[in-house]
Chain A
């Protein structure tokens, strides 16, 4: 059966993709951010997961407002990264695992999560930037795992509640643990932390709230489900709602996790950037 070995979180700020393309990892502005990744890469090199479930939010590449799935699961042989319109370099396609994808889709719907299945899905910076951070050179990294992208809607309200996001992760866990093949799986929750791009409150960052979330996501994610969606907008900023991806990731890890590594840095672009590595109990 599949084993969930741990969870990773990362911001997925587009400017990071440009910084990687320009080789700015040691630049004084960028270094405190990029320094959060080598310990996680070491852990990944030791554990070599076969599959990465990448939970992210599409920002208007894979989906438009004509049809906006609340939860979408990729079921493709590969996932193309396409032009997003503002100059981030495009990467080659990422290899999928459609057999696992369909197992997850079957299981999620059986558990009454009525998801959207995607046999074609263009993946944007929300997906690609964390992959590049965790597997340098992605997708052309020798340890590159196969991927299953899962996108949740944070573009248009109503967005899912924090409780629903955590419950989604719990159902995803049951789906993975019922997979008959012996594979090692790592779960990525990407996005956040606090930031707001729009309105006269643009530039809002909330260090205290971010640090509270980074603590509770380890020790007591259930407590975070008491936060309403409008409170999340108020405290994390309009785009800080991407924290929902972290909740989905966390639900898939089970009750007890061991924090292996964490980094938090303000600002990267307009964002409080959070990075975490949580290991599941063996």
Chain B
């Protein structure tokens, strides 16, 4: 089945619409991230990340994006930001760290951009 034929959203710059196509692509990755609601799951992941990826059946692109902690790659691999936030939380990355990484800015520059939106 060609998933692309279901992509009927008009493109919005810098934005991935998390729809059925992405949900199917990212299911294993998001399911792993959902497990991180539980403290024992976070500990199990930290103890052996590679075994944890295999337990949830992540594909190689998803595993590599996790190893690199690369948010844009995680999204491209089907990650949903609400679940990815739980992955980022393991490394104490907040939404401004995540925003700065995706936009290629320092965290301070990213926060300044947010502040300027209020002017």
Contacts and interface: CB of A to CB of B under 8 A. Distances in A.
B42 interface: yes
A179 to B, nearest CB: 33
A202 interface: yes
B81 A238 contact: yes
A105 interface: no
A115 interface: no
Interface of B: 9-10, 12-20, 23, 27, 30-31, 33-34, 36-39, 42, 71-72, 75, 80-86, 88-90, 92, 94-96, 98-99, 102-103, 110-111, 113-115, 117-118
Given A155-B80, A157-B17, A198-B75, A83 B85 contact: no
Interface of A: 15, 59-61, 64-66, 82-87, 155-158, 196-207, 230, 233-234, 238-239, 265-267, 269-270, 272
Contacts of B30: 64-65
Contact of B86 (A84, A200, A270): A84
A107 to B, nearest CB: 30
A86 B72 contact: no
Q: Is the interface of B mostly helix, strand, loop or mixed?
A: helix
B89 A64 contact: no
B31 A199 contact: no
Contact of B85 (A86, A156, A204, A233): A86
A158 B37 contact: no
A57 B9 CA distance: 22
A64 B32 CA distance: 11
Given A15-B95, A61-B37, A265-B118, 10 more contacts: A60-B85, A65-B23, A85-B37, A85-B38, A155-B18, A156-B19, A202-B98, A238-B81, A269-B94, A272-B118
A275 to B, nearest CB: 15
B98 A197 contact: yes
A167 B41 CA distance: 40
Nearest to B81: A198
Contacts of A266: 114-115, 117-118
Contact of B102 (A199, A206, A269): A199
A199 B89 CA distance: 18
A202 B98 CA distance: 8
Contacts of A200: 13-14, 72, 102-103
Nearest to B24: A65
B95 to A, nearest CB: 5
Nearest to B10: A230
Nearest to B21: A157
Contacts of B82: 59-60, 155
Nearest to A266: B118
Contacts of A66: 31
A30 B67 CA distance: 35
A17 B30 CA distance: 24
B95 A201 contact: no
Contacts of A61: 37
